[in-house]
Amino acid sequence: MITLDLRKQYKHLYQPSAKKVELVEVPRFNFLMADGVIEPGLGPGASPLFQEAMQALYGASYTLKFMSKQRRDNPIDYPVMALEGLWWVADGEFSFSRKDNWAYTVMIMQPDHVTAEMFAEALQQLRKKKGDQPGFARLRLESFAEGRCIQVMHLGPYTTEPETIARMDGFALENGLTLHGKHHEIYLGDPMRAQPEKLKTVLRHPVKQAGA
CATH number where 174 lies:
3.20.80.10
Q: Write out the H or E segment, with its range, that includes residue 165.
A: helix 161-174
- Minimal CA–CA distance to 33: which of 110, 115, 117? 110
Q: What confidence tens digit (pLDDT) does each residue in 119-146 have?
A: 999 999 999 999 989 999 999 999 999 9
Residue ranges making up the domain that contains 19:
2-209
What rounded mean pLDDT belongs to the chain?
91
What does the alpha-carbon distance between residue 86 and residue 106 come to, in Å, rounded to a whole number? Answer: 6
Position 190 pLDDT exceeds 80: no
Question: Span 28-48, mean pLDDT?
Answer: 91
Question: Span 65-88, mean pLDDT?
Answer: 93
Residue 191: pLDDT band with limits 50, 70, 90: low
Position 42 pLDDT exceeds 90: no
Cβ within 8 Å of residue 168, ≥6 positions away: 21, 150, 152, 203, 205
The total domain count for the chain is 1
- Mapped onto helix, strand or coil, the DSSP state of residue 143 is strand
Question: Span 53-68, mean pLDDT?
Answer: 95
Position 100 pLDDT exceeds 80: no
Cβ within 8 Å of residue 18, ≥6 positions away: 152, 153, 154, 155
